[in-house]
Amino acid sequence: MEFISQLRHTFASGKTKSLEWRQGQLLALKQMLEENEKTIYKALFDDLGKCQFESHVSEYGFVLKDIALFLKKTKQWAKPRNVKTPLLLQPGKSKITPEPLGTVLIMGAWNYPLQLVLSPMVAALAAGNCIVLKPSELSQATSNLLADLVPKYLDPNAIVVYEGDVAATTELLKQRFDHIMYTGSEAVGKIVMRAASEYLTPVTLELGGKSPCIVDDNTNIKVTADRIVWGKFINAGQTCIAPDYILVTPKQREPLIKALQLSLIKQYGHDPKQSPDYGRIINDRHFQRITGYLNGIEDKLIVGGQTDAEQKYIAPTLIFGPELTSPVMQEEIFGPLLPIIEVASMDKAVNFINDREKPLALYLFSNDELTIKKVTNETSAGTLSINDTVVFMVNSEFPFGGVGNSGMGSYHGKWGFDSFSHLKPVLHKSFFADAPVRYAPYSGWKQKA
């Protein structure tokens, strides 16, 4: 692929290493977003029926906030970082010098089709890399828009948008990169990692899985329900960190279900299909996949269950007590269905989670210090969020990423800068005061040492 040689050539020229170039590209990206705000909202609406508020908060505004942070911090993060030098290496100085990796590939998923490619790109640009950007072909409007806009605003010799389906991506993955960052499913994550191994290319894998949400006896049930409903049904449940299912104590079961019902009405009205704030499913395949989960569990539905294939609409749906062997409890739902499972105690909730793959996010609603301590110490997850759902994403001090099957590596803020950098240790010794004790021959007292 000719364009990759071009990117390598650009990187070798050293152009992307200068702070001016990096900041210039970040400013150009900011300009691209600001001058095309309305067109971006339209593309996101065409792909996912996303309303403007959601598009602003979780995509457009999210990336702008990232750019502002990197514009402020890149100079500092790119500087050599002084570290201590042990006595044995004195006189000398030790520094860690971040250097760009080279030409990196960023592959995004369709559910947040702008944010999931541009947010990693901000970090990769700030770190001084050349970039191939591969948006998901499933979110076609956003992919087309990025392919149109990026070359108009950013340095075309250093950043290329590559569009295409699975066959085209398979070809792309045969190329050599210096890093690959992939956001998407576990199955494709394995394909990416296999392809990367050909050249020992390091990977960051931002994957998914089932993110549990525990509701304890001791909570503010109204706020709990509002926060679960928002985190689950934003983007019609197509969010990698959406609560996938709820684990609730017997005492809290009825109050929680009632509060969730009320919150759904409050947020999306009696008929969510008419709500301008409720999204649609990305395509027919995913619509069939999600509605398929409802087959055979119709008697478990408490709320929702209505669907409209033409509009790719699936109502926010609450399910109580599905079999743990049913597909809805075996696979990542990635849609607006919320199963609720009763567990006898917090011990049982912890065991439930530990019996399964490590989740990308784990949510706990509790005011009880012992429960909070227990869940924090006895479970593992990409992120643990106590008393709220998906909003932890906006804290750029947090590394965002999974653990185990939910992913490897992380980004956001400085974590992203470091992921797209090699943190090169540089030891600088002085010729002064050379101590010859370490040199051969190791005779005399050295043999006894």
245 sits near ligand NAD (criterion: CB under 6 A): no
Tell me the backbone φ, ψ of residue 341, rounded to 5 degrees: -120, 135
Binds ligand NAD (CB under 6 A): choice among 332, 361, 381, 396: 332
Shortest distance, position 230 Cβ to ligand NAD, whole Å: 18
Q: Decide: is 188 part of the binding site for ligand NAD (CB under 6 A).
A: yes
Tokens of residue 241, six digits: 């960190």
Q: How far is the CB of 61 from ligand NAD (least distance, A)?
A: 17
Dist. CA 39–CA 42, nearest whole Å = 5
If binding is defined by CB under 6 A, does position 183 make contact with ligand NAD?
Answer: yes
Number of residues that bind ligand NAD (CB under 6 A): 26
Does residue 293 touch ligand NAD according to CB under 6 A?
no
**What is the SS3 assignment for 398?**
coil
Helices (H), 79-111: none
Q: Residue 412's closest CA among 391, 392, 397? A: 397
SS3 content of the chain, % helix, strand, coil (to 5): 50, 20, 35
Q: What is the crossing angle of helices 115-126 and 19-35, to 10°?
A: 160
Spatial CB neighbours of 267, under 8 Å, sequence gap ≥ 6: 226, 229, 230, 233, 277
Toward ligand NAD, which CB reaches closer, 134 or 179? 134
Please state whether beta strands 361-365 and 383-386 pair in parallel, antiparallel, or not at all (unpaired): parallel
> In the chain, what's the furthest Cα-to-Cα distance?
90
The correct pick among 25, 129, 140, 169 for binding ligand NAD (CB under 6 A) is 169
Q: Which residue has the tokens 């996101």?
A: 44
CB closer to ligand NAD out of 163 and 217: 163
Per-residue contact track with ligand NAD, 340 to 369, x per CB under 6 A? --------------------x---------
Query: Could you say whether residue 208 binds ligand NAD (CB under 6 A)?
Result: yes
Q: Which residues of 251-270 are buried (b: 16+ CB within 10 A; e: fewer)?
A: ebbebbbebbbebbeebbee
Residue indicated by tokens 């860690």: 96
Going from the C-alpha of 159 to that of each of 30, 102, 164, 197, the distances in angstroms are 15, 12, 16, 24
The piece of 5-13, 183-191, 226-234, 424-432 that touches ligand NAD (CB under 6 A) is: 183-191
Residue from 19, 166, 309, 426 touching ligand NAD (CB under 6 A): that is: 166
Q: What is the CA radius of gyration of the chain?
A: 25
By the rule CB under 6 A, 207 interacts with ligand NAD: yes
As measured in angstroms, the least distance from the Cβ of 197 to ligand NAD is: 14
Cβ-contact 389, 224 below 8 angstroms: no
CB 108 within 8 A of CB 121: no
For the window 117-156, what string marks contact with ligand NAD as x by the rule CB under 6 A? -----------------x-xxx------------------
Residue 185 near ligand NAD by CB under 6 A: yes
Give the up-direction half-sphere exposure of residue 109: CA atoms within 13 A in the CB hemisphere. Answer: 19
Q: Does 116 bind ligand NAD (CB under 6 A)?
A: yes
Q: Which stretch binds ligand NAD (CB under 6 A): 83-91, 200-208, 316-324, 368-376?
A: 200-208
Contact between 111 and ligand NAD per CB under 6 A: yes
Active-site hit among 99, 186, 198, 206 = 206
CB-based contact 102:64 (threshold 8 Å):
no
Q: How many residues does the chain have?
A: 449
Q: By CB under 6 A, which span of 103-111, 225-233, 252-260, 365-373 interacts with ligand NAD?
A: 103-111
Beta carbon of residue 57, minimum distance to ligand NAD (angstroms, whole number): 16
3-state SS, residue 110: coil
Q: Rule CB under 6 A: say whether 334 interacts with ligand NAD.
A: yes
Distance CA 237, CA 271 (A): 17
* 62 closest CA partner among 106, 111, 122, 19: 122
| H/E element, 365 | strand 361-365
- Asked if 170 interacts with ligand NAD (CB under 6 A), we say yes
Q: Should residue 237 be labelled a site residue for ligand NAD when binding is judged by CB under 6 A?
A: no
Nearer to ligand NAD, 226 or 244 (CB): 244
Name the residue nearer to ligand NAD (CB basis): 122 or 248. Answer: 122
Is 206 in the active site?
yes
The answer to whether residue 184 forms part of the interface with ligand NAD (CB under 6 A) is yes
| Nearest residue to ligand NAD, by Cβ distance, number only | 208
Q: Which of 127, 240, 257, 361 binds ligand NAD (CB under 6 A)?
A: 240
Q: How far is the CB of 392 from ligand NAD (least distance, A)?
A: 12
Residues labelled as active-site residues:
206
Where does this chain bind ligand NAD (CB under 6 A)?
107-111, 116, 134, 136-138, 166, 169-170, 183-185, 188, 191, 206-208, 240, 332, 334, 360, 407
